[in-house]
Chain A
Amino acid sequence: MSIRPISEDDLHAYVDRALEPERQAEVAAYLESHPDVAKRVAAFADQRGWLRSALGPIAEEPLPPQLNLSRIIESRRRRPSSARWAIAVMLMLAIGGIGGWTMRGATQAPASGLAALAQEASDSYQVYASDRTRPVELRDSTELVSWVSSRLRQPVKLPDLSKSGYRFMGGRVVPTAHGPAAMFMYDDDHGERLVVLTRPMTSDQNAPMAPHAGGNIAGFSWADGGMGYSLVGPGAAEQLRPLANEVRKQARSI
């Protein structure tokens, strides 16, 4: 009977006692006639024995409380599972979404019209007028007018409020739910800032000037020939009325 050649894998399996008894005997016979290989295999077997003896005691140590499986199972039961959390979060988002949608008239920005424009102008004021690092994107008036006119696809005129004591600082294009709007910013000698926002109107294409106020800012909004304007600044609305009138007068002269 011819014996299959002994492979390196057989030698390891011999050390690990993973061979069928018959093969185990064949390898043992081979090792008897090959002392060099037998020496290596004996060394591997020693390693195995030492590792098992050295590491064995770890498995006999008493388990710390953190590895008590009954406790782990119990604490998972008391705590909602991650899947349940996910469902709860999704439900809350859904309720929030539905609630938010049905409540939008009461609490959120109106969908269109002059009130929407007023809100956008107030938002722009809140975000950019308070920015001490980069309140405006462009300071060059010619460049700015050309930029915003191309984005709004309308000739936009830059209101000049210098006679009222407000210097032009610069401006930028700002995003709104109704497309891009042009924002211009001004400041006076006290560092008070004003924002004028203008964009094409889809509804309220012609609307008389209306004041609005919220928090510590106020403003006036109106629409003329399809373009909406809103002027927002700090303090009371009435103080801003002459400025709003001035902007309207200049815009009409385009």
Chain B
Amino acid sequence: MSDMLHQIEPVIPALRRYARALVRNHAAADDLVQDCLERAVSHWNQRRDTGSPRPWLFAILHNLAVNQFRRASTRGQHISIDDAGEHEVGESAVQEQKLIYQDVLGKLAKLPDEQRAVLLLIAVEDLSYAEAARVLDIPIGTVMSRLSRARERLQQELERPAGSQGRNVVQLRSNS
């Protein structure tokens, strides 16, 4: 039991970070992580791989998040999304950097869910390509192609002139 505690506990901050970057709502993200931890505790002895619990925990969390997206889209409901970047960026960041970070996170949010997930797991959570493939239950080749598309697309967004993006935002708001 204490082994479980010592193996899971260090991963919780990273799970939280992944959840928040994925669902972009502070409270909903922590609820997902809580749900994930409860499942992890109750299924601890049923995990197939007794190596690092990191990919296993991310897989539980990811599946919970995907189910939530699916439920939300079939019901036509939306989880309210915190303003891009504002909550995610730590207070310690210097003002100028903070603007860059908010911009990056706002544009990350525009990626399709599956591309965002791959990029986060690899570039932020330091999962290997093989581990990411297991978490997402896809072949490693698909991980690579999604990663490539995610980076290209994020780059396009980042290089887009600010003016056209501004109009885009106004348009979206007036539609909602």
Interface residues of A, Cβ cutoff 8 Å to B: 8-9, 12-13, 15-16, 18, 40, 43-44, 47-48, 50-61, 63-64, 66-67, 69-70, 72-73, 76, 81-82
Q: How far apart are A246's CB and chain B's nearest CB, in angstroms?
A: 59
On chain A, the residues within 8 Å of B119 by CB distance are: 51
On chain B, the residues within 8 Å of A73 by CB distance are: 1, 4-5, 41
Tell me the chain B residues, 1-55 only, with Cβ under 8 Å from chain A. 1, 4-5, 8-9, 12-14, 16-17, 20-21, 30-31, 33-34, 37-38, 41-42
Interchain Cβ contacts under 8 Å between A and B, 25 examples? A12-B144, A16-B123, A44-B151, A47-B151, A48-B123, A48-B124, A51-B120, A52-B124, A53-B93, A53-B97, A53-B101, A54-B102, A55-B20, A55-B21, A56-B17, A57-B91, A57-B93, A59-B16, A67-B16, A69-B37, A69-B41, A73-B4, A73-B41, A76-B38, A76-B41
Q: Check A54 against B151 for contact (C-beta < 8 Å).
A: no
Q: Check A47 against B123 for contact (C-beta < 8 Å).
A: yes
Q: How far apart are B79's CB and chain A's nearest CB, in angstroms?
A: 17
Q: Check A63 against B42 for contact (C-beta < 8 Å).
A: no
Residue-wise, chain B 143-174 has the 8 Å CB interface mask toward A (1 for contact) of: 01001100100110010000000000000000
On chain A, the residues within 8 Å of B88 by CB distance are: 54-55, 57-58
On chain B, the residues within 8 Å of A60 by CB distance are: 13, 90
Report the separation of the CA atoms of residues A52 and B121 in the bound assembly, to the nearest whole angstrom. Answer: 11
Q: How far apart are B19's CB and chain A's nearest CB, in angstroms?
A: 9
On chain B, the residues within 8 Å of A15 by CB distance are: 123, 151
On chain B, the residues within 8 Å of A61 by CB distance are: 13, 16
Report the separation of the CA atoms of residues A70 and B4 in the bound assembly, to the nearest whole angstrom. Answer: 10
On chain A, the residues within 8 Å of B30 by CB distance are: 64, 66-67
Known contacts being A9-B144, A67-B34, A82-B42, is A52 close to B12, with CB within 8 Å?
no
Tell me the chain B residues, 120-146 only, with Cβ under 8 Å from chain A. 120, 122-124, 128-129, 144
Interface residues of B, Cβ cutoff 8 Å to A: 1, 4-5, 8-9, 12-14, 16-17, 20-21, 30-31, 33-34, 37-38, 41-42, 85, 88-93, 97, 100-102, 104-105, 108, 119-120, 122-124, 128-129, 144, 147-148, 151, 154-155, 158
Q: Check A12 against B148 for contact (C-beta < 8 Å).
A: yes
Known contacts being A16-B123, A67-B34, is A57 close to B92, with CB within 8 Å?
yes
Q: How far apart are B112's CB and chain A's nearest CB, in angstroms?
A: 16
Q: How far apart are B52's CB and chain A's nearest CB, in angstroms?
A: 16
Contact of A43 among B85, B108, B155 (CB under 8 A): B155
Q: Check A72 against B144 for contact (C-beta < 8 Å).
A: no
Known contacts being A47-B151, A57-B89, A57-B93, is A72 close to B41, with CB within 8 Å?
yes
Question: Which residue of chain A has its CB nearest to the CB of B6?
Answer: A69
Q: Check B33 against A58 for contact (C-beta < 8 Å).
A: no
Q: Check B151 against A12 for contact (C-beta < 8 Å).
A: yes
Q: Check B101 against A54 for contact (C-beta < 8 Å).
A: yes
On chain B, the residues within 8 Å of A47 by CB distance are: 104, 123, 151, 154-155, 158
On chain B, the residues within 8 Å of A40 by CB distance are: 155
Q: Check B16 against A58 for contact (C-beta < 8 Å).
A: yes
Report the separation of the CA atoms of residues A57 and B124 in the bound assembly, to the nearest whole angstrom. Answer: 12
Q: How far apart are A76's CB and chain B's nearest CB, in angstroms?
A: 6
Q: Check A66 against B34 for contact (C-beta < 8 Å).
A: yes
Question: Which residue of chain A has its CB nearest to the CB of B97?
Answer: A53
On chain B, the residues within 8 Å of A56 by CB distance are: 17, 90
Q: Check B151 against A72 for contact (C-beta < 8 Å).
A: no
Report the separation of the CA atoms of residues A8 and B34 in the bound assembly, to the nearest whole angstrom. Answer: 38
On chain B, the residues within 8 Å of A69 by CB distance are: 5, 8-9, 12, 37, 41
Question: Which residue of chain A has its CB nearest to the CB of B5?
Answer: A69
On chain A, the residues within 8 Å of B104 by CB distance are: 47, 50-51, 54
On chain A, the residues within 8 Å of B123 by CB distance are: 15-16, 47-48, 51-52
